[in-house]
Structure 1
Amino acid sequence: MKKIFLLTVLFSLNTFGQFTDGATIPDFELNDLDGNQVNLYSMLDQGKVVLLDFFFPACRPCWDLTVIHSVNDISSKYGEKGSNQIKIYGINVWGEGAGTYSGNLAIPNINGVDASDQNFSRGDFEYFGNYKYLPQGSDYGTLVNIIECPTYLLVGPDRKAYNVDPEEMEYDAQNYFGVTLTKIANNLRIYVPEITTCSSSNTVTVFGQLRNTGSNNIVSARVKLMVNNTLISTQNLTFTGVNTTDESAGLPEFRFNNVLLDQPLGNYGKGPYKIVVDMINGVTLVNPIEKLIKIRKDNTAISASNLIVELQSDAFASDTSWIIYNANGDAVTQNQILQNNTTTNQNITLQSNGCYTLRLKDAYGDGIESGYLKLKTASNSLLFDLTMGNYNYENFGYDKFHSFSINALSVNENDTDQQTFLYPNPATDKFYLISTDQVTLQISDVSGKLLKSYKNVDKSNPIDISGLEDGVYFVSIINDSESKSIKLIKN
């Protein structure tokens, strides 16, 4: 979907009227997500212009404006990795007294974890935003009189602040503070979506794009895949054409196939794997540009290989596509020609016993509006909805991924593991695990549809299945390093 259309919708949600333009803004001292203290006036006293993004994790327009690049590009152009003229901070203004809205849950919610299971998170703001976030900003938001989100306040060295539109940042900085924002040569922003693989897989395919945020055209760049400080692979990319304007939706993508996951993933799945650009147009960068990779291991397991991909397109279907990759990163099937504002159902057949990844892609980089992508069985049972999830949002930037395995739940009739991991089997109204370790447990039917899910289960927890009909089910037992699926008979 085209950016202008989206911004017209989103900014109509924000009156930009709560803070009086030209008033002196109060000071703050707040910690960022890493525990580092941030003081507003000390930055202003250094002559910096500061952009404050007031948001909260459940706010849909806040999420939309994070993933469609505008503020992130501003940070790349004029922030520490660019001309170093501006500082940007996201301030979470959800109420301190509400408990579930902030406190210990503020950080996981900002990182895309709906810690209270009450739809308090749209996605991982820290991962998709390339500026710092201050999780405990409710009191400051009240002090500044923030009544709608998102609100963007541009603050100058004179400590006066103004409501601004991120699309007009260059004009506003000049108009309000006489500051001319300038881009440096040979600069870019790395975009890597949330990458997925199957829970049992030890490899992943990494996709990414580069956005030119410098003052000159980019004809080449050196991209490295690293884990911590160890080089895994290098790609020397070349580009043709003009790509100096913001309307170029990123330079052509890069990818690294079959990346071996042999290191523990960091908090919320971010790092230690990362993309590093250390050379642009043949010039070695003094400060290489880095982006941690977020990797999620999906547990969706499907017993049938005949499936349906259902897509509802928006008014810009030519920007939209979907692709299914196998475990090697090879495309095995993709969408047919799509029409605007149309629902299409495409039948696909995949080979058994493999890990697959479904990718929803928007070439323009701002997701789709009022659309969705669903994977279903041949009998129309929903397996997962790639666009919506449990909490409705459509905009996702360039890409959204979900991995699933075919026949991962198949168990040999004589497999002794059925008696090694759980008992009794067959079971009537409940069963127990034998393991003393706490694990995640999921119960699915024969079509792969998830019926029940439990966290932190061990042998002391009886699993109640009295509400299930008699028949065959599959129990997935998942810990940090592996997963095991057992056939369960209820009678």
Structure 2
Amino acid sequence: MKKLLLSLFIAAAGFTAQAQIADGSNAPDFTATDINGNTHTLSEYLAQGKTVIIDISATWCGPCWSYHGSGALEDLYMSYGPGGSDEVVVLFIEGDGATTLADIQGTGNNTQGDWTQHSPYPIIDNASIANAYQIAYFPTVFRICPEGKVYEIDPLTAAGLKTNINTNCGTLEGLASHAKATAIDVYSCEGSAVAKVQVKNYGGSAMTNAVLEVKQGNTVVGTKTYTGNVATFASATVTFDALDLDPEVEYTASISTINTVAPANQTIAQDNFNVTLAQEGSNNFDVKIYTDNYPSEISWKIRNSSNTVVAQGGPYQAGTADQWGGGGPDANTVKSHYVSLADAAAGCYTVELIDSFGDGWSLGNTQHGIEIVSDGEIVYSQFVGNFGASSTTASAFRADGTLDNKTVSVKTFAMYPNPTTGILNFSTQETVSVSVIDVTGKTVFTAANINDGDSINLSQLQKGMYIAQVKGEKTQTTEKIVIN
């Protein structure tokens, strides 16, 4: 969600007025140690003929987190960094001297999340580098060509970074046969399973053909050929025919050839996966949708074995925080739907998550995804990031009904905002009661006869995480709430 690279809001808090280092200046040299203990010297990289991209950010900075989440630097590094053609160095510089390692790892009090996730490139916590480059805001991205001159550039997409380097530093060659395989969660419901593999092209040219295999040990149990046209940094999902896969066995999905050539990096061209046996529940269940910051783009569907939609929800209420509907009461919260598959036949059900903008459920400071709960037990759970326009899981769960009438009812329940400063609003189609329990298991707040539009005030409670148990005639749900 959002045209991040065209309209990033800049975080400038904490800077004194200063002139940023001028474009075309000699890049200030530095030697610094990353959080894994590895040493990096700028002049040594330049002497090796490499272009260096430096992202100076801060863990608390929202726009920095958005750029990190776009995957642009990760993709550039995977294609042209040490695991690829080794022509580019990407360095993430934490530029706020007050930042702790816990903040970088997402467990501190001054952070947007875990910055080590999706950061195969080095992370260096060194505010003196930010000072040397005289930055005026976060994030600030610099390009340094091998001749040693520094230029500020916009927070570009991976393709934009590649073009910028090609234009100013010399054309990147890339590798001819280079892609990453990511096995998608596989569920088995009735004795067979459909394996899916996402193939991301990190090669220097388009991928038009690929042969993929599923192996049990060294034995090939399935093969699939992909044909199409996947540009550099783009992805394709390859779906195998149904296979007889054992939930007790680990399998490997691998790319055997790309454009008829073996992958240049075998390590990332394969991924292990297990088969999950679909859990069974009754025909009544709660669907919990963990929204991101753009709820009006979020929707979901549940289909039966005949591919008929039997339940669906969303899109949710747009906010007014920006021109794309960010924020609002449905953002970064949990939307609960009570679903009854009245008289539906027993069988397997497919879950589809949809994002109308096409960048998954990926932005916001909470987890995003879906939980399906039946009789108090989670029968399916998936937490996601940027999955594109849709993510589909076949045979995600089973229902144990016996009749054929597909009548479906869906009722909605929500508490918002979450996190909250104390006031918690209710959207409900029936009267409910709520009990709030702290992390020690002590009930610290109760309320009854809550109707649609009512609110409760928890501002007297200490900041932290609590569990809210909500009960009604048809609503029974347990949800985490955070008081800030």
Same-fold status (TM-score > 0.5): yes
**2:402 equivalent in structure 1:** none
Deviation at residue 48 of structure 1 after TM alignment: 0.7
Query: Structure 2: how far apart are the matches of 1:189 and 1:212?
Result: 7
Structure 1 residues 70 and 142 mapped into 2: Cα distance closer, same or farther (>3 Å)?
Answer: same
1:211 aligned onto 2:193: no
Paired amino acid for 1:85: E
1:27 aligned onto 2:40: no
Of 68, 73, 92, which residue of structure 1 is paired with 2:75?
73
**1:8 equivalent in structure 2:** 6
1:240 aligned onto 2:227: yes
Structure 1 residues 32 and 451 mapped into 2: Cα distance closer, same or farther (>3 Å)?
Answer: farther
Deviation at residue 241 of structure 1 after TM alignment: 2.6
- Give the length in aligned residue pairs: 369
Structure 1 residues 32 and 336 mapped into 2: Cα distance closer, same or farther (>3 Å)?
Answer: same
Give the TM-score taking structure 2 as reference length: 0.56
Deviation at residue 254 of structure 1 after TM alignment: 5.5
**2:89 equivalent in structure 1:** 87
Say if 1:221 and 1:279, in contact at 8 Å, map to a contact too.
yes
Whichever structure has more helix as a proportion of its residues is: 1
Deviation at residue 189 of structure 1 after TM alignment: 3.6
What are the residue-to-residue correspondences of 1:349-364 with 2, within 5 Å? 349=340, 360-362=353-355
**1:154 equivalent in structure 2:** 143
Partner SS for 1:287: coil
Structure 1 residues 48 and 294 mapped into 2: Cα distance closer, same or farther (>3 Å)?
Answer: farther
Partner SS for 1:145: coil
Paired amino acid for 1:241: G
1:182 aligned onto 2:160: no
What are the residue-to-residue correspondences of 1:325-474 with 2, within 5 Å? 335=312, 347-349=338-340, 360-362=353-355, 366-367=359-360, 451-452=436-437, 454=439, 464-465=442-443
**1:483 equivalent in structure 2:** none
Paired amino acid for 1:244: A
Structure 1 residues 373 and 82 mapped into 2: Cα distance closer, same or farther (>3 Å)?
Answer: closer
1:277-296 Cα shifts (integer Å, max 9, x gaps):
4532442235314287899x
Deviation at residue 81 of structure 1 after TM alignment: 3.3
Whichever structure has more strand as a proportion of its residues is: 2
Paired amino acid for 2:77: S
Query: Structure 2: how far apart are the matches of 1:365 and 1:239?
Result: 23
Deviation at residue 153 of structure 1 after TM alignment: 0.8
Say if 2:300 and 2:314, in contact at 8 Å, map to a contact too.
no
**2:126 equivalent in structure 1:** 137
1:126 aligned onto 2:116: yes
Give the TM-score taking structure 1 as reference length: 0.55
Query: Structure 1: how far apart are the matches of 2:58 and 2:391?
Result: 22
Partner SS for 2:117: helix
Paired amino acid for 2:258: I
Structure 1 residues 333 and 225 mapped into 2: Cα distance closer, same or farther (>3 Å)?
Answer: farther
Paired amino acid for 2:286: L
Paired amino acid for 1:176: N
Partner SS for 1:72: helix
**2:236 equivalent in structure 1:** 251
Say if 2:178 and 2:202, in contact at 8 Å, map to a contact too.
yes
1:39 aligned onto 2:41: yes
Say if 2:437 and 2:445, in contact at 8 Å, map to a contact too.
no
Deviation at residue 236 of structure 1 after TM alignment: 3.5
1:152-171 Cα shifts (integer Å, max 9, x gaps):
21112222211123343234
Say if 2:54 and 2:91, in contact at 8 Å, map to a contact too.
yes
**2:164 equivalent in structure 1:** 172
Say if 1:67 and 1:397, in contact at 8 Å, map to a contact too.
no
Partner SS for 1:89: strand
Of 51, 54, 68, which residue of structure 2 is paired with 1:52?
54
Deviation at residue 71 of structure 1 after TM alignment: 2.6
Query: Structure 1: how far apart are the matches of 2:433 and 2:353?
Result: 21
- Residue segments in structure 1 that go unaligned for 5+ positions in a row: 110-114, 198-203, 264-272, 296-301, 379-384, 389-393, 407-446, 455-461, 477-491
Say if 1:14 and 1:151, in contact at 8 Å, map to a contact too.
no
Percent identical across equivalent pairs?
22
Partner SS for 1:67: helix
**1:108 equivalent in structure 2:** 105
1:151-197 Cα shifts (integer Å, max 9, x gaps):
221112222211123343234324433x111232222244578x799
Deviation at residue 360 of structure 1 after TM alignment: 3.9
**1:307 equivalent in structure 2:** 286
Larger relative contact order (Cα-Cα within 8 Å, sequence gap ≥ 6): 1
Say if 2:178 and 2:264, in contact at 8 Å, map to a contact too.
no
